[in-house]
Chains A and B, each alone.
Chain A
Amino acid sequence: MNLLSSPFTRQSLKTHELMRMVILCCIPGIAIQWYFFGWGNLIQIMLAVSACWVTEAVILIMRARPVFRITRDSSALLTGVLLGIALPPFLPWWMTVIAAVFAIGVVKHLYGGLGNNLFNPAMAGYVLLLISFPVAMTSWQPVVAQAQHQMGLWDSLNLVFTGFSSDGYSIQQARMTLDGITAATPLDTIKTDLRQGLTLDESQQNPVFGVFAGAGWEWVNLAFLLGGLYLIYRRVISWAIPGGMLLSLFVISGISFAFQPDGAASPMMHLFSGATMLGAFFIATDPVSACTTVKGRWIFGALIGAMVYAIRTWGGYPDAVAFSVLLANMSVMLIDYYCKPRTYGHKERQ
C-alpha cells in the first residue's frame, strides 16, 4: 500500500490555477493596449504563446517528461503572454520566435525547467532581442489616434510577417505620426529633450504626453495596475515586490524631481510610463526568479525600482524594466540569504 503523508487536506488554489489567474489579470491591460496601439500586440502575444508552447512541448519530449501533465501548469503560456505584451507591436515574427525559443528552451529548461530558472524567462528573451536588434526593439508606433497610417488587423499581420502592410507601408512608415515624424515613446522623448537642454515643460508640449503621463501608456499602465491589485487581493502575488518597486521608483524619482523640477521626469511619469506597472505586478513577481523571503522581496522590488530609475535616466535604453529585473534576479540568492526570518525560539541573528 502506498502510504500517504500528512497533511491530507490542502487548500484549493493550485499552481496552474495561479498561473492562469495571472494570465487572466493581464487581460484588461492587453485590451487597453489593443485600444491604443492596435492589433500588433495581440499578434505578438499569439505568436509568442504558440512559440513558447511548442518549445516547451518539444523539450519535454526530448527530456522524456510527461508533456500533457507538465504543460498543464500554464507557465509557458504565461511567459508567452508577458513576452508578447512587452514586444513592440510590429516586430518581425521571427524575432519573436527567437525570443520565445530562447526564453523557454535556454532560460527555463536548460536550468532545469519550472522552478529552477534563475532568470525571468520572458525578460531574458526580451533582453536577448534588445541587445541583438536594438533598433527594431525600440520601434514603438504612436497611439492609433496619432498615427499617420491606420493599420487594421490584416495590415498588422502583414507587417509582422512580411515587414510591409497590405498597402505597402514599411514598419518605419507605420511609426509616422500625423506630423510626419517617427514616433518616439514618451520616456524616449523626455530623455532626448532633457539631454538637448529643453525644460520639462517644453518637452511635455509634445503630443506623446497625455493627461498625467504618456498618451495611451498611462491608461495601459493603469489597467495593469488594476489587474495587479486584483492579484494581490486574491493572494496570488504578495504586495512586497510591487510595493518595494513602485515605492523606490516613486521616492527616488520624487527626490530628483523635487530638486530639479524642470530637469527630471516626474514620479507620475515614471510610474505610469513604459512597462512600469506590467513590470511591477506581472514580471518582477514571477515567484521562481524572485526573492522568496518577505523581507527579501521588499529589497528585491526596491532594487528593481532603483535600477529602473537609473537606467531610464542615465542608460542608453529608453525603458529599463527588463534589464532591472534580470539584474535583480542575479542578486536573489544573496538577498534571500541575509533575509532569513528569525525562527521561533531563536535569538535575533547577530
Chain B
Amino acid sequence: MIDVKQLLTTDKLWDYKGGVFPKYNKEQSRQLPIQPYWIPPVVRIPVRQHIGQSGHINVTEGERVLKGQLLTEPTHGMAVPVHAPTSGIIESISQGAANHPSGLSELTLTIRSDGNDEWRPRQPYANADELSNDDLLQLIRYAGISGMGGAGFPTEIKLTPVADIKLLLMNGAECEPYISADDTLMQAHANEVVQGILLMARLLDHPVVVIAIEDDKPEAIEAMTQATADYDQIRVRSIPAKYPSGGERQLIQIITGEEVPHSGIPADLGIVVQNVGTAHAVARAVYHDEPLISRVVTLTGQRVLKPANHWVLLGTPIEDLLHHHGLDELSQVIVGGPMMGYQLPKLSGPVIKTTNCLIVPGQNELSSPDNQVPCIRCGSCADACPVNLLPQQLHWYALAEDHEKLSEHNLNDCIECGACAYVCPSEIPLVLEYRQAKAAIRASKQEQLKSERAKQRFESRNLRLEQEKIARAEKHQQAAQARLKAMAEREQQASAPAATDDKKSAVAAALARAKAKKAGAVSAPPKTVVDESGQTIPDNRDVAAQREARKAEARARKAQKAAQAVQDSGATPTELPADSAQQSADVPAADNKAARVAAAVARAKAKRQAQQTQADDSVEQPAANLTEQVTGKPAADDKAARVAAAVAHAKAKRQAQQTQAGDSVEQPVANLTEQVTDKPAADDKAARVAAAVARAKAKRQAQQAENQRSPDATPRSKDQSDS
C-alpha cells in the first residue's frame, strides 16, 4: 500500500521505463486565453459519448428544448445522460455521423438552435454541504459528466468508492503534443478546478490529493499552487514532460512508485485518478447547475492560422466549427493528439465530451504511411514502451497471427500509446497492428466459446442417448426377470406351504416393477432444459432416474434372493426384505443429516469467501473445489445441490461485481458449470444451479460483448485516459 502521508512531503518522483519526447507544439495555443463559444446553427448530440450505455431519450422530434435540458434519462448504471447545449428545436432523432475512429454512425439528436441560448431554470447550490453524498453523486450523474481526458468513463461511478481510497490523483499532465486544453483551463479557472477537486475528495472520504502537471506548463502549476494554498491535503506536483506520463498507470507510477497490478484497477491500490477538466465540470454542475454541455478544445495544426483553445458546445459539428474558423477544403482532421488521436472518418461528426483537440495538419506535417520497411529488430520500440513490452516481438507475432504468443507477450497490457510506432525507424504502424490483433483475439475467443458450448451440447446429447439405451435394456431385463420370478412364484405357490413369505416377496417384486416403470416413465420427458438465455442445458433427471432404476433393480434382486433363500431353507425369513426396506429408508435420512451439515459448512465457507471479495482470484479455486466436493459425494442429494446453488449464486454475484476483471473469470465459471452438470449425483437442483450459473455467465458475456462493441469501451482503454 502507498504511504500517502509521505506523498504530501516528499520531493521524490519515480520514473517509468521508456517514454518518448516528441515535439510538443503547444507554445502558440497555450499562450492565448480560452476563446468564448460559438453557437452553431445545428448541433448534433450523439446519445452515447462515453463508455457504457446510452440513456433513454425523453424528447420528441419537433419539441423545443432549452439550454441545459436533459435529453436522455440515465436509466441504468453505466448510462450517462446528454443535454441540449443551446436552446432550439429537435429537428431529428436518427443515425448520424459519429466522432469515433470506427466511422460507424450513432443515434444522434439534431437540434436546430434558435440563437437565443435560453437556459432552463437553474438551481445552483451556493453551499455544497447542503447536499448529501448520495445527492451529490446523483447530481454529477445527471449533469452527464464522464471522464474528459481520455476514454470517458462515467465520473459518478469512479467516485463511488468501492475500496478505501487514500489518494485522489488529479491528472493535469496533458502529455500529448499539441493539446493545451487542460493547461489553459487550469490557468484560467484554477479556483473552479479546485472546487471540483474538493467535491470529489469529499465523495471519496477525504483522501490525500495530488495534482500532477507536466513541467512545461509553469503558468498552470503556478495558478493551481496558488488556488490550493489553503488546503494542506492537496499538493501540486510538477512532473517532467515526457510522453505518455499522462497515462493513468504511468502517472500513478510517477507519483507513488507503485504499479497497478495486471488486470487490476487503480482502486486496488487505493487510488482514484481524475482529469482536471472533469473536476471543473463537477464544480460547474454543483455551483452553477450547469450540466456538461461545453468543453475546452484546442484548435491547432499547421493550417490553423491562430492555434488557440476554444470553449465549444458539445454537439458542434467539427466541419462547421472549422469553417467558422476560416478553414475550408478540409481533407484530414485529427481528433485528439498526434500520438493517440484518430483521423475523423466523417468531417460532420460532432465535438463530444472527450474531444480535447482538433488538428488540421498541413501538407507534410504528419508522417505518411507509405514509407514502411521491414522491422530490423532494432529494439528502439522496446526501449520506448512505457509498459515494458516487446513491440518488435508483438509485431512479429501479429503478422503471424499467433494469438497464443501475443497473449504470452502481454499484448493486452498495451495501452496503445504509440510510443513504439513513434520511434520505429521502419515506420511500421505498430499500434494499428495491435488494435487489429486485439480485435481478432477477442473475436476468436468468442468463437471458441461458442464452439465449446456446441461441443458440450453435442456430448450431453450423446450421453443422454447412451443412457436411454441402457435404461431401456435394463427395463427389458427387469421385466424378464419379473416374469421369471412370477413363474417361479406360481410354481412355489403350488408346491410350498410358506405362502405368507412368498406374498411378501411378490409384493417386493411388484414394488420393484412399479419403481422400474416409474423410472422408465421419468426418463421419457424432454432431456434438456432451456434457460432464459436460450442456452440448452443437459437435464440430469434421466441420470437420476437411471440411478433410481438401478437401485430398484438391486432391491428387486435382493428380494428375489431372499425369496430364493426362503425357498431353499424352507425357514421363515420374514425379517429380510423388511430389513432391507428399513435400511433403504434409513439411508436417505442419514444422508439428509450429513448433507445438511455439509450445507451448513458450505454456506459458512461461501459467506467467508464472499467477504473476501478483494481476494478475487484465490477464491475462485476453493469455491469450485467445494462445489466439486459437495456434489461429488454420493451421499449428497437435494441439499448438497442447494449448497452448490448457493455457492454458485454467491460466485456469480461476486463475479458480477468484478466486471472489470474481465476475461480471467471466464474459465473458472465454465469449469464450474461443467463440474456441476457432469456429476451423476446432481439432479434437478444441480441442473437449476447450472442454469443459474449459465444465466449469470450469459448476462456477463452480454455485457462484455456490449462493451466490446463500443470500440473504446474495453476496461483497458480507460488506462489511456488523459495522456
* A305–chain B nearest beta-carbon distance, Å: 20
B421 touches A292 (CB 8 A): no
- Asked if A14 is at the interface (CB within 8 A of a chain B CB), the reply is yes
B375 touches A293 (CB 8 A): no
* B26–chain A nearest beta-carbon distance, Å: 13
B262 touches A345 (CB 8 A): yes
- Asked if B367 is at the interface (CB within 8 A of a chain A CB), the reply is yes
- Asked if A135 is at the interface (CB within 8 A of a chain B CB), the reply is no
B66-105 interface code vs A (CB 8 A; 1 in, 0 out): 0000000000000000000000000000000000010100
- Asked if A16 is at the interface (CB within 8 A of a chain B CB), the reply is yes
Complex alpha-carbon distance, A13 and B421, angstroms: 12
B386 touches A344 (CB 8 A): yes
Chain B neighbourhood of A6, CB < 8 A: 336, 338-342, 416, 418, 421, 431
* B604–chain A nearest beta-carbon distance, Å: 32
* Known contacts A9-B23, A10-B367, A15-B425; is-contact A113 B374 (Cβ 8 Å): yes
Most buried by B among A1, A8, A114, A340: A8
- Asked if B387 is at the interface (CB within 8 A of a chain A CB), the reply is yes
A4 touches B343 (CB 8 A): yes
Chain B neighbourhood of A5, CB < 8 A: 342-343, 369, 429, 431-432, 435
B379 touches A292 (CB 8 A): yes
B422-441 interface code vs A (CB 8 A; 1 in, 0 out): 11111101011001000000
B343 touches A114 (CB 8 A): no
In the complex, chain A residues 155-209 whose Cβ is within 8 Å of any chain B Cβ? none
* B655–chain A nearest beta-carbon distance, Å: 21
Chain A neighbourhood of B390, CB < 8 A: 292-293, 340-341
Chain B neighbourhood of A290, CB < 8 A: 377
Chain A neighbourhood of B435, CB < 8 A: 5
A7 touches B338 (CB 8 A): yes
A18 touches B22 (CB 8 A): no
Q: Please give the number of chain B residues whose Cβ is less than 8 angstroms from any Cβ of chain A in the complex.
A: 63
B413 touches A344 (CB 8 A): yes
B388-427 interface code vs A (CB 8 A; 1 in, 0 out): 1110110000000000000001100100101001111111
* Known contacts A3-B343, A15-B426; is-contact A343 B378 (Cβ 8 Å): no
Interface size classification for chain A: 35 or more
Q: Is the interface of A mostly helix, strand, loop or mixed?
A: loop
In the complex, chain B residues 119-164 whose Cβ is within 8 Å of any chain A Cβ? none
- Asked if B526 is at the interface (CB within 8 A of a chain A CB), the reply is no
* B22–chain A nearest beta-carbon distance, Å: 6
Chain A neighbourhood of B393, CB < 8 A: 292, 336
B421 touches A7 (CB 8 A): yes
In the complex, chain A residues 57-72 whose Cβ is within 8 Å of any chain B Cβ? 70
- Asked if B334 is at the interface (CB within 8 A of a chain A CB), the reply is yes
In the complex, chain A residues 283-310 whose Cβ is within 8 Å of any chain B Cβ? 287-288, 290, 292-294, 297
A1-32 interface code vs B (CB 8 A; 1 in, 0 out): 11111111111011111100000000000000
30 A-B pairs (CB sep. < 8 Å): A1-B345, A3-B103, A5-B431, A6-B338, A6-B418, A6-B421, A7-B338, A8-B334, A8-B339, A8-B359, A9-B23, A10-B422, A15-B426, A18-B425, A114-B374, A287-B377, A288-B376, A292-B378, A292-B390, A292-B393, A341-B388, A341-B390, A342-B388, A343-B262, A344-B388, A344-B413, A345-B260, A345-B387, A345-B413, A346-B262
A-B pairs with lowest CB-CB distance, top 10: A115-B374, A7-B418, A5-B432, A345-B262, A8-B366, A344-B387, A8-B338, A287-B378, A9-B338, A15-B425
